[in-house]
Amino acid sequence: MSIIYNKASKTITLHTRHTSYQMKIGNLDYLLHLYYGPSICDADMSYQVMQYDRGFSGNPYESRNARKFSLDAQPQEFTTQQQGDFRTASIEVVNSDGSYSYHGKAVDFKITKGKYQLETLPCVFAAEGDTVDTLEITLLDAVSKVQVILLYSVFEAADIITRAVKVKNAGIESIHLKKIMSVCLDFLNGSDLDLISLPGRYGQERQVERQRMTHHIHTIGSVRGSSSHQQNPFVMLCDKNATEDYGKCYGFSLMYSGNFLAEAELDQYDQLRLVMGIHPKQFVYEIKPQEVFEGPEVVMAFSEHGFTGLSHLYHDFYRTNLCRSKFVKDVQRPVLINSWEAAFMDFDDVKLVNIAKAAKKMGVDLLVMDDGWFGKRDDDNSSLGDWYVNEKKIKCGLHKLVEQINDLGMKFGIWFEPEMVSEDSELYRAHPEWAMQIPGRHAVRSRNQLALDMSRKDVQDYLIEKVNTILDTANIYYVKWDINRSITDIWSNEMPADKQGEVYHRYILGLYRVMNEIILTHPDILFEGCSGGGGRYDAAMLHYYPQYWVSDNNHPIDRLKLHYGTSFVYPVSTMGAHISDSGKFVPLKTKAVVAMCGTFGYELDATHLTRKEQKLCKEQSDLFRKYYHIIFEGDYYRLSNPFELGNMTAWQHVTKDKTEALLSVVVTNLTCNGPQEYVKAKGLEPNYMYTINNSKEAYSGAALMHAGLPIDREVPEYSSFQFYLKKK
């Protein structure tokens, strides 16, 4: 059993293969956090929690004259409210009498086999063969009768612990939830920890930022209605001297696609608290008697082996326990070409067929018809929401167009943006009340579109019916699901005034319902997520999509940073990456090398390529297929940091049995008459002998890792190299 309760010490210990996590039902039945880190067997870590009279620190009333016990200095699993703890909180409740108070004490717990499930939100699952145990702890406020149910699932072999929270109103009066964090983790000494996050902006998503912990509340989050381009719902705490290969690292990945918040606070005593969950901005959620509110899941991981060790835990787990699509492991992803940069919205069926014919010569498997195929869509001013085929463009009809593409030996894909509506559309004219607009105020436009009120069931039903009708009309193999703006003007015409604080969250719940009804009912279609590029790239989205568009920025040199940051938590197999015309001074080969750090495809007009360029693309497409098992199933190593000044960026994929590897290098900054550059491999078996690009010579794994490979300096700028290593 991976969860052990010690009755004598009242400790509960969660064990994975290499880690332990311990809590204690402590003084006055408050649930205290004791430990998270390398395995400690069944040691009782209570001795670490020292208690002093801190002076002016509040003490729970029940402690009487015991001034040494103050929740303002105790490490907790989930914080109380108005009990003397002034640090960042896990919960904020407004009771029926208007009081802001929650005094949660442990009253019950149970340990069961298997993974807990959430009814309203996506969460990870136990794959075949997994050993998973679940702990459920109930905290009760004796006055309001409000219960907080803490959920923990332990994936023993994967070194993963998941957490979620439920709030049940077991009282007789309604309450209002204003803040609910899914995870709270207290470190007794956090002054030596750094915080790593993935901030960015449109076109520059998931850049890596590292900051020392100081005596402030460090806040990371989004209030844009989605997890956003600007922040990502993943944070890492690590030793201040942690590197790729060394140091303790704690990861927290939130499975939620809406407004989120992560707060890390180094307190007056150098204790560090991290909380993570739904952002409290414009969040006021009524919970009526006997109703239950679910908070999103957090996937936690710990590694002593630096950033790489933590990334490998997330990569392996998310490849097997996050998305049920057959394209995750059973079906190889196609090489695709997208019509957007080839034609934008200026196309017809003939042009698409011609692009497909040219792309076939490039080794492409799939043509994707992007924006512009529906309603009266000739630019971005109209027709979103009118999900029917524009037969002035697709004169032969969708079914016949798909047949023509299929007759070429290629598959067909299509683009949707279901959550948006244009004011110039049949849908908006029929249902203006379906758009997000505050009464009496002009709505904020973004990309000339408004957001549909996804909290409404009639909106959800409309989208489910319209999108499913298109998908069932023709032999569609792939769908790109896009959203191209942040959400503003938060208002639902269907909700009363006192319920408007629920709209942000109900929007996300509605979106998940639509995705459940469309994506999960079409298991043979490959879905790819997109949000103005990578603006909603999060674990919850990857529960539905096996891949997500990393960024609208296709410049291969920028992509080096984009792929680097994304890889800290998300597997390479989820990263949508294509070759485009962007980066006119970058060789086509280099663009291909970069795009192979992802799903690989093209964003260009294939009819404009020369025969030589088409032949080179065919060779690169074939190489991607050859290396597919290494890239999609192997371990990924960041060999250099593109955010640091250097002459090249390098990365590597290694098969699990260490018999094959693909080492990639892009030269980014040539210097005149500079020193010889070497790239040191990682993850190889030291005693294996490896050939390089099928040469006769072989080198030991130890030599390749410790001495490295010399990189030719006599090359043009932005040249690239791929080294295929194979055990002899």
Q: Which residues are catalytic?
A: 538, 613
| Letter string b/e over residues 270-304, b meaning 16 or more CB atoms within 10 A of that residue's CB | ebbbbbbbbbbeebbbbbeeeeebbbbbbbbbbbb
Q: Give dist(CA 71, CA 76) in Å, integer.
A: 8
Report the alpha-carbon distance of residue 666 to residue 210 in Å, rounded.
24
| CA nearest to 361, candidates 618, 623, 620, 589 | 618
DSSP per-residue codes, 560-602: HHHHHHHTTTS-GGGEE--EES--TTS-HHHHHHHHTTTT-EE
Is residue 313 within 8 A of residue 335, CB to CB? The reply is no
Task: List all residues 6 or more positions away from 115 whose beta carbon is below 8 Å from its beta carbon.
Answer: 123, 124, 125, 126, 132, 134, 153, 162
Q: Where are the alpha helices (DSSP H) in 482-635?
A: 503-518, 539-544, 556-566, 588-595, 611-633
Q: Which two tokens stand for residue 520?
A: 């999960």
Q: Give buried/exposed letters for 82-94 (b at 16+ CB in 10 A, else e).
A: ebbbebbbbbbbb
Burial code (b: 16+ CB inside 10 Å, e: under 16) for 603-634 equals bbbbeebeeeebebbbebbebbeebbebbbbb
Determine phi and psi for 303, rounding to 5 degrees. -140, 140
Let me know: does 32 contact 75? Beta carbons within 8 Å: yes
Identify the burial level of 50 via C-beta atoms within 10 angstroms of its C-beta, where 0-12 means exposed, 13-18 middle and 19 or more buried.
exposed
Exposure string of 470-483, with b = 16+ CB inside 10 Å and e = fewer, is bbeebebbbbbbbb
Of the candidates 315, 309, 338, which has an alpha carbon nearest to the alpha carbon of residue 328?
Answer: 315
Which residues lie across from 698 on neighbouring strands?
691
Report the C-alpha gap between 537 and 541 in whole angstroms: 7
Residue type at position 505:
H
Q: What phi-psi label fits residue 86: left (phi over 0), alpha (psi between -120 and 50 degrees) or beta?
A: alpha
Residues 6 or more apart whose CB falls under 8 angstroms from that of 133 comprise 1, 2, 3, 111, 112, 113, 114, 153, 154, 156
Q: How far is CA 163 from CA 137, 221, 227, in A?
A: 11, 19, 19
Contact (Cβ atoms closer than 8 angstroms) between residue 534 and residue 205 = yes
Please list, in sequence order, all residues whose beta carbon lies within 8 angstroms of the beta carbon of residue 341, skipping any fewer than 6 positions away.
Answer: 554, 580, 581, 603, 604, 605
Report the C-alpha gap between 512 and 35 in whole angstroms.
Answer: 35
SS (H, E, C) 343-363: HCCCCCHHHHHHHHHHHHCCC
User: Cα–chain-centroid distance for residue 681?
Assistant: 28
